[in-house]
Amino acid sequence: MSAQNPAPVKRIGVPDIRARKGGEPLVCLTAYDAPTARLLDPHCDVLLVGDSVGMVVHGLPNTIPVTLDMMILHGQAVMRGASRAMVVVDMPFGSYEASPEQAFMNAARILRETGAQAVKLESGVYIADTIRYLVDRGVPVMAHVGLRPQAALAEGGFKAKGRSEDERARVLNEARAADAAGAFAIVVEGVAEDLAAELTGVVAAPTIGIGASASCDGQILVTPDMLGLFDWTPRFVKRYADLKGLTEDAVKAYADDVRARRFPGPDQVYRITRA
C-alpha cells in the first residue's frame, strides 16, 4: 500500500472481545452520532449505541419510549464515524421480549440497516432462550444484567442491585444464563462491588462494568456523563471534563460578541476580489 492509500483499519470483532477475558481491560463508551464516534474511536474497544440516547439526547424521562427506528438512525450515524471500535446497538424496550422470532427479525434489521457488529439485550433469566436463538442464527449478543433501565417502571426507578441475598442470587442467575446461552460479553450495571467481582469470576464471557467493580473485564460509561455535560451524574461516574461549563462560557462569549458587533470580524467575512 502506498502512503496515499493506507491499509484499512481492521475493526474489532467478537473474537477480539472474547479474547480479552482476564486480560487488558476493555474500554467502552456510549456514542450516538458520527462526530462523537470519530473522537472516541481511536481510544475505545466498544462503542455502544445505547438506548440511553432517549434520555441524554432526546430529553425523555427514561428509556421506555425509545423506538427501533431511533436506534437504527443513531446506529447508522455512529457507524459513519467509527472505523476501528466494535459498534453495538441496544435493542429497545418492546423489540425482543415477545418471542425469539420477534427478537431475531428486529436484530437482523438493526444489523442489516446499520452495519453494526452486535446487539445488546437487557437480560433477565427469561431472555436466555432468546439469546441462544439469536446466537444460533448468527447474531452476536451482548447481555446486560443487574440494574436494567428498561425495567425501571416495574422496579420503581434506577436502583442498585445485589444488596440482599435474593438480589445477589437473581443477578448471578441472570449472568450465568446469558453466558450459557452464548452472549459474547455481559454488561454488569449498578451492582454491589463484591458481587460484580464474583460474577466476573464465574462467567466465561468478559464482563463490562458500569457502577460495578474494577475487577470487571472492562468498563463503560455514558459519554455525556463522563464529559460533564449535565448538572447531575450518577455516583459511579467520574467526570473527566467540564464540557457544560466550557460550553456555557463559549456561548456567553459568542453572545457578548454578537451584541457588541465584534462578531463577525475581519477574519470571518468575505470580500470582493477586484482585478
User: 8 CB contacts (<8 Å, ≥6 apart)?
Assistant: 83
Active site residues: 189
- Would you state the pLDDT for residue 165? 83
Question: What confidence tens digit (pLDDT) does each residue in 78-134 have?
Answer: 999 999 999 999 999 999 999 999 999 999 999 999 999 999 999 888 999 999 999
Is residue 120 annotated as involved in ligand binding?
A: yes
Q: Tell me how long the chain is.
A: 275
3-state secondary structure of 248: helix
Inside any domain, residue 249: no
Inside any domain, residue 55: yes
Q: Residue 55 is part of a domain; what is its CATH number?
A: 3.20.20.60
Closest Cα partner for 94 from 175, 137, 153, 17? Answer: 153
Inside any domain, residue 9: no
How many domains does the chain divide into?
A: 1
Inside any domain, residue 165: yes
- Would you state the pLDDT for residue 115? 98
Residues (pLDDT < 70) of the chain are: 1-7, 151-163
Cβ count within 10 A of residue 119: 26
pTM of the model: 0.93
Inside any domain, residue 146: yes
- Would you state the pLDDT for residue 164? 78
Is residue 242 annotated as involved in ligand binding?
A: no
Cα–Cα distance between 205 and 203 in angstroms, integer?
6
Inside any domain, residue 4: no
- Would you state the pLDDT for residue 159? 61
- Would you state the pLDDT for residue 155? 63
Is residue 248 annotated as involved in ligand binding?
A: no
Inside any domain, residue 121: yes
Inside any domain, residue 248: no
Question: Which residue bears the cell 464529559?
Answer: 227
Domain membership of residue 50 as a residue range? 14-242
